[in-house]
């Protein structure tokens, strides 16, 4: 990992440890946790602290309450689930700051665990307010950032707090995420392929710029493929296009050719007369998209084309679905690529967010080498940028 201290570099017996975790889990309509993978991913770090006699204070956000207390975004159900997973009582504080919360923290004994209420019930969290950062840090001996999914945010609990604690270190999950992305960017086993999807080129601009100098093959799908297709002179109907990105798309394809990077665009697409799961659909070549239809997925010929081109690669990074995978008629391309990547005899690294969700829906999550827990944070690393949540941590002495 970068030259920052980790959870293994510090003594924590009897100390109050404030661990920023990412418990932003999906909830169903009845307020039950629909997927607890993010909770499970933190267990090794939490158990490490418990086993070493720390007094553990956990803090997270859930959803987007926009600085207001909203019952549907309470972390109370998470505290109950975490207690079952740890097989021990997990205390729950009604707020993340204030006198009552402070007294609950003061009462902790070595090995105890306390989860604070949603950080984002306070607008000061996202504003990285100094006073709020100080309040979170009050009485804390050690800060652990184990929330990779928020490491790209300059928030009070991910960045501001590090200025007011004696030492700040990375948890096991954070370390693992950084190590994977550092290795794949700096020293990948080749051939190295990047699969990029999602709706917009502008959202992947930095990633494309950084990866084009590092990969051997780039595959483009999702909504962003239509900007690239238009850049080579094709008509794409009502499909999503970022006109201001067309010149960039053209330049990147030319740069790839100049650097002998193979650049793969779809050869056929699934189109629909409207964006609706009950819409009329058909499969056409990329040269035959009608003017009033929408391209919503890569087609079967593209699936086979991409699959053959992925044969023999040794490292694959995938960020962004191949189509509007949330709707069944337009999910097949993403599912096919998920299965192809899973079957590669390669190190396979899946960017978080929609890509992780798509891989899970395809039933291939267990067949990937590594699935990131953070979509936005993984994008920043793929762009070659530093993360605020890492920058604020304490440097190693060596």
Catalytic pick among 67, 203, 376, 384: 376
Residue 13 in 3-state DSSP?
A: coil
Let me know if 274 is a catalytic residue.
Answer: no
Given CA atoms 356, 358, 361, 362 in this order, what sign does their dihedral have? negative
Q: Alpha helices, DSSP H only, in 259-350?
A: 300-309, 332-343
The segment(s) of the chain belonging to CATH 3.40.50.1260 are 7-177, 188-382
pLDDT at 1: 54
Closest CA to 51 of 103, 113, 104, 93: 113
Q: pTM of the prediction?
A: 0.87
> Regarding the domain with residue range 7-177, which homologous superfamily does it belong to in the CATH classification?
Phosphoglycerate kinase, N-terminal domain (3.40.50.1260)
d(CA 147, CA 310): 32
pLDDT digit string, tens, across residues 312-331:
999 999 999 999 999 999 99
pLDDT at 2: 67
Average per-residue pLDDT in the chain?
93
Find the length of the chain.
398
pLDDT at 206: 87
CATH 3.40.50.1260 corresponds to the domain 188-382 = yes
Q: Which two structure tokens, joined as six digits, stand for 96?
A: 């993340």
Catalytic pick among 38, 120, 204, 332: 38
d(CA 51, CA 38): 21
Residue 185 in 3-state DSSP?
A: helix
pLDDT digit string, tens, across residues 45-103:
999 999 999 999 999 999 999 999 999 999 999 999 999 999 999 999 999 999 999 99
Let me know if 255 is a catalytic residue.
Answer: no
Catalytic pick among 200, 250, 304, 314: 200
Catalytic pick among 171, 353, 374, 375: 353
Q: Alpha helices, DSSP H only, in the chain?
A: 37-40, 43-51, 76-86, 99-106, 123-126, 130-137, 172-186, 205-211, 225-231, 246-258, 300-309, 332-343, 354-361, 375-382, 388-391
pLDDT digit string, tens, across residues 159-169:
999 999 999 99
d(CA 205, CA 248): 9
């Amino acid at each position: 990992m970068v030259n920052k201290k980790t959870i293994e570099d510090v003594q924590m017996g009897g100390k109050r440890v404030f661990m920023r975790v990412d418990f932003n889990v999906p909830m169903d309509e009845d307020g039950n946790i629909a997927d607890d993978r993010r909770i499970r991913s933190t267990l090794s770090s939490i158990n490490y602290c418990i086993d070493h006699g720390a007094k553990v204070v956990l803090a997270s956000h859930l959803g987007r309450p926009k600085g207001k207390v909203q019952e549907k975004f309470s972390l109370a159900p998470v505290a109950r689930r975490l207690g079952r997973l740890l097989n021990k009582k997990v205390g729950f504080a009604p707020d993340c700051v204030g006198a009552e919360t402070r007294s609950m923290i003061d009462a902790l004994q070595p090995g105890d665990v306390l989860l604070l209420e949603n950080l984002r019930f306070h607008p000061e969290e996202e504003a990285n307010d100094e006073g709020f950062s100080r309040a979170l840090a009050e009485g804390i001996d050690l800060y652990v950032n184990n929330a990779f999914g928020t490491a790209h945010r300059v928030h009070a609990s991910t960045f501001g707090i590090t200025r007011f604690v004696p030492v700040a270190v990375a948890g096991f999950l954070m370390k693992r995420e950084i190590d994977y992305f550092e290795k794949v960017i700096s020293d990948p086993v080749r051939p190295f392929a990047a699969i990029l999807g999602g709706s917009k080129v502008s959202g992947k601009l930095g990633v494309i710029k950084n990866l084009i100098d590092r990969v051997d093959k780039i595959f483009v799908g999702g909504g962003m493929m239509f900007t690239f297709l238009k850049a080579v002179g094709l008509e794409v109907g009502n499909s999503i296009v970022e006109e201001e990105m067309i010149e960039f798309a053209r330049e990147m394809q030319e740069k790839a050719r100049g650097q002998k990077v193979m650049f793969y665009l779809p050869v056929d697409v699934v189109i629909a007369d409207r964006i609706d799961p009950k819409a009329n659909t058909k499969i056409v070549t990329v040269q035959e998209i009608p003017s009033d239809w929408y391209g919503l997925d890569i087609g079967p010929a593209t699936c086979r084309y991409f699959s053959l081109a992925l044969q023999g690669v040794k490292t694959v990074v995938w960020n962004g679905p191949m189509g509007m995978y949330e709707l069944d008629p337009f999910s097949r391309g993403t599912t096919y690529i998920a299965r192809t990547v899973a079957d590669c005899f390669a190190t396979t690294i899946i960017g978080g967010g929609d890509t992780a969700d798509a891989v899970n829906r395809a039933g291939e999550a267990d067949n990937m080498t590594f699935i990131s827990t953070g979509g936005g944070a993984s994008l920043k690393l793929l762009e070659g940028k530093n993360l605020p949540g890492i920058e604020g941590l304490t440097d190693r002495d060596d």
